[in-house]
Amino acid sequence: MTANWAYADVQTIGERANQEDFCRAYAQGDQLLCVLADGMGGHAAGEIASKMVVDKFIDIATAGSSTSWSEYFLNAIDSANNTLSDAVRQNPELEGMGTTLVAAEFREAEVRWLSIGDSTLYLFSGGNLRRLNADHSMGARLDTLVKSGEITQEQANKDPSRHMLLSAITGDQLGLMDYTPKGIHLSPGDIIVLASDGLDTLPLDDLCSRLERYRKWNPSDIARALISAVAKKGAPRQDNTTVMVVKFKPDQI
């Protein structure tokens, strides 16, 4: 915890054999960096990829002399991607591993981020919930087709390609990326949630109403409550779920 930021993370393995999510926070002075990755690849490669990418990203982003770590996000993601490439070259059994990533820097009443894949960055402020980062999955494209009236929401939800990623960190050339160095201003009491797609088990309106109920809680209690809510849904083959919860100026609400 820093003067302005209170933070906690909680995760569950769900109904999967391995925990392929990995997250880590780094704080210095009144700055906080949160990074979350959702690995893929099987045979333990997903958990290797997610940890490797998060650790390298944080090492590079925080090594610069600038007060803003987000200025180094592009260098950090390139280095993390190259680390995966080197790992596969040294151990061909890891071929096919990869990961999503969402990284958020909290500094001077603002949040700045970089993300690749479908892991989410939510902002709950003034009773409203909105996703800040882009969704690089087929689900986002299907939802666009719903809005244009080309398909129904039921068709979009049942489409077998819904969870297919359009961009991920795999050691190959990086594709779609959402890099927002300008920052979004935050107000006292705002809640920011970084999450792997296991949290998608909770519909957005449900997640919003829960955060409204939890808004005066500390981040640790909020994170545990969200993970508990996912577990209670009892979704078949529930995916790994990780949430990182940050509150800005938590004592001023």
Backbone angles phi, psi at 220, to 5 degrees: -65, -45
Q: Tell me, what's the pLDDT at 144?
A: 85
Give burial (CB, 10 Å; 0-12/13-18/19+) of 140. Answer: middle
Q: Is the pLDDT of residue 253 over 70?
A: no
Long-range contacts of 160-164 (CB under 8 A, 24+ apart): 162/137, 162/138, 163/118, 163/137, 163/138, 163/139, 163/197, 164/137, 164/138
Over residues 79-125, the pLDDT tens digits come to 999 999 999 999 999 999 999 999 999 999 999 999 999 999 999 99
Over residues 12-30, the pLDDT tens digits come to 999 999 999 999 999 999 9
Whether 29 and 108 have beta carbons less than 8 Å apart is answered as no
Q: What is the fold of 5-130+169-252?
A: Phosphatase 2c; domain 1 (3.60.40)
Query: Mean pLDDT, to the nearest integer, of 236-247?
Result: 96
Task: Give the HSE-up count for residue 236: Cα atoms under 13 Å, Cβ half-sphere.
Answer: 0
Rounded Cα–Cα distance for residues 77 and 59 (Å) = 11
* CA angle (130 as vertex; 206, 38 as ends), nearest 5: 80
Q: How confident is the model at residue 161 (pLDDT cuts 50, 70, 90)?
A: confident
Over residues 184-241, the pLDDT tens digits come to 999 999 999 999 999 999 999 999 999 999 999 999 999 999 999 999 999 999 999 9
Q: Is the pLDDT of residue 43 over 70?
A: no
User: DSSP readout, 136-196?
Assistant: -BHHHHHHHHHHTTSS-HHHHHH-TTTT-BS--BSSS-----EEEEEEEE--TT-EEEEE-
Domain ranges of the chain: 5-130+169-252
Q: Tell me, what's the pLDDT at 252?
A: 76
Which amino acid does the sequence have at 98? G
Rounded Cα–Cα distance for residues 157 and 163 (Å) = 10
23: left (phi over 0), alpha (psi -120 to 50) or beta: beta
pLDDT cut 70: percent of the chain above it: 98
Nearest of 91, 99, 118, 7 to residue 56 by alpha carbon:
99
Rounded Cα–Cα distance for residues 144 and 180 (Å) = 22
